[in-house]
């Protein structure tokens, strides 16, 4: 006989391997939501101006630590924004001193604040070579920016035109394909032998492009890479719940104020930090894989980054539906929390 489905689970404290915290008022408004559940997070460097140098990363880390709620043990893991002028020695120093955990590659123009990203990949080869030599991971926003390429195809084209050549030229480089949204990316990661992993966001496990566009446009579901067809969403769920250690959580929780999202050219980004663990538990529970949540959210990422899992545990409990929490407020406007479109029954209870 099948065991009764659990209504309580205990797992290692999760980490978020892709997070936008911003700066200033927004940083102070959103950081408590992530620090409430997560032990560590990979902090995206796409500020204005971007976090390019070790010195900038050190200063940003200081501002994050200052914004943490009293007593919080949360650890920000810093990244450096790769430009065509990035110096290999600066990157190596930042990694070897423990200041930076990874380098972030944005193709120029791919997304929010990515204008200083890379156009000619030949120009960053010395940095990538150095990173491969010292074992420093590269986080990749995997979309081409060619306006001729349809936005729904940009991830798949990136794999063929950019990622495969980079990894062929540099097989020792450790690469994380971030926020994968397609079956193509899942297959590419699954077929790889080594040095490749992928993060999957909470929202891409839940929404497809119909949620964004059918029956009215829903700006709070607009993000980059844009949500794809249902077939792709299903491939992402299968990868996430499979336990395959190459797939792990990176929420890409990316706060923008409502005025910035609700306009004729609104910003890309979904703010999921406060509800991510509840949403993930629903997804894993619906797939009858609640016990794999720990691998996805708490173990696989740490393993790829060669870090120990967090020491402490969290408990999640399933009960009556819980209301969506209100989003944070900033002087420039409120931030809307991701609404999965179904009731949430799981909450982090301890």
**Dihedral Cα 91, 298, 187, 286, nearest 10 deg:** -150
Question: Quick one: tokens of 17?
Answer: 């391997």
The residue among 182 and 298 lying less far from ligand DOR, judged by its C-beta, is: 182
CB of residue 168 to Zn ion, shortest distance in Å? 26
Is 252 annotated as catalytic? yes
The CA distance from 179 to 201, in Å, is 6
CB of residue 57 to ligand DOR, shortest distance in Å? 17
- For 75-149, list the strands marked E by DSSP: 75-81, 100-105, 138-140
CB of residue 19 to Zn ion, shortest distance in Å? 8
- Positions in the binding site for Zn ion (CB under 5 A): 252
The residue among 271 and 284 lying less far from ligand DOR, judged by its C-beta, is: 271
Catalytic residue chosen out of the listed positions 252, 258, 288, 312: 252
CB of residue 47 to Zn ion, shortest distance in Å? 12
The residue among 21 and 94 lying less far from Zn ion, judged by its C-beta, is: 21
Question: Quick one: tokens of 53?
Answer: 């140098």
The site partner of 327 among Zn ion, ligand DOR, none (C-beta below 5 to 8 Å per kind) is: none
Cβ atoms 42, 76 nearer than 8 A: no
3 state DSSP class of 305: coil
* Residue among 32, 30, 34 at smallest CA distance from 18: 34
The residue among 9 and 139 lying less far from ligand DOR, judged by its C-beta, is: 139
What kind and span of H or E run contains 183? helix 183-191
The site partner of 269 among ligand DOR, Zn ion, none (C-beta below 5 to 8 Å per kind) is: ligand DOR
* Residue among 3, 10, 1, 38 at smallest CA distance from 291: 10
The CA distance from 260 to 267, in Å, is 6
The site partner of 223 among ligand DOR, Zn ion, none (C-beta below 5 to 8 Å per kind) is: ligand DOR
Query: Residue with the closest Cβ to Zn ion?
Result: 252
The site partner of 207 among Zn ion, ligand DOR, none (C-beta below 5 to 8 Å per kind) is: none
Chain-centre distance for alpha carbon 149 = 24
The residue among 46 and 298 lying less far from ligand DOR, judged by its C-beta, is: 46
- Positions in the binding site for ligand DOR (CB under 6 A): 20, 46, 111-112, 141, 223-224, 252, 254, 268-269
**Which residues participate in catalysis according to the annotation?**
252
């Amino acid at each position: 006989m099948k065991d009764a489905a659990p209504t309580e689970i205990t797992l290692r404290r999760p980490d978020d391997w892709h997070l936008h915290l911003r700066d200033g008022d927004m940083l102070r408004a959103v950081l408590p939501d992530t620090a409430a559940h997560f032990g560590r997070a990979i902090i995206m460097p796409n500020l204005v101006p971007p976090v390019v140098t070790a010195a900038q990363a050190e200063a940003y880390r200081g501002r994050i630590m200052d914004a943490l709620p009293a007593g919080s043990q949360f650890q920000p893991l810093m990244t450096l924004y790769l430009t065509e002028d990035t110096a290999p020695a600066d990157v190596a120093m930042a990694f070897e001193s423990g200041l930076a955990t990874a380098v972030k590659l944005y193709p120029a123009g791919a997304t929010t604040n990515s204008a200083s990203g890379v156009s000619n990949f030949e120009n960053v080869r010395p940095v990538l070579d150095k990173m491969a030599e010292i074992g420093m991971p590269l986080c990749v926003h995997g979309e081409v920016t060619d306006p001729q390429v349809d936005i729904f195809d940009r991830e798949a084209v990136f794999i063929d035109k950019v990622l495969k050549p980079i990894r062929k030229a540099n097989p020792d480089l450790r690469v994380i394909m971030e926020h994968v949204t397609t079956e193509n990316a899942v297959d590419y990661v699954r077929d790889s032998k080594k040095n490749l992993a992928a993060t999957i966001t909470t929202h891409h496990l839940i929404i497809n492009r119909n949620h964004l566009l059918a029956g009215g446009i829903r700006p709070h579901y607009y993000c980059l890479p844009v949500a794809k067809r249902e077939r792709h969403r299903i491939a992402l769920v299968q990868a996430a719940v499979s336990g395959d250690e190459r797939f792990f959580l990176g929420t890409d929780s990316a706060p923008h104020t409502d005025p910035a999202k609700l306009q004729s050219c609104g910003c890309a980004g979904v703010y999921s930090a406060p509800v991510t663990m509840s949403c993930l538990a629903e997804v894993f529970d619906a797939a009858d894989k609640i016990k794999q949540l720990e691998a996805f959210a708490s173990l696989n990422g740490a393993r790829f980054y060669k870090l120990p899992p967090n020491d402490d545990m969290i408990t999640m409990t399933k009960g009556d539906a819980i209301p969506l929490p209100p989003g944070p407020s900033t002087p420039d406007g409120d931030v809307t929390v991701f609404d999965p479109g179904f009731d949430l029954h799981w909450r982090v209870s301890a």
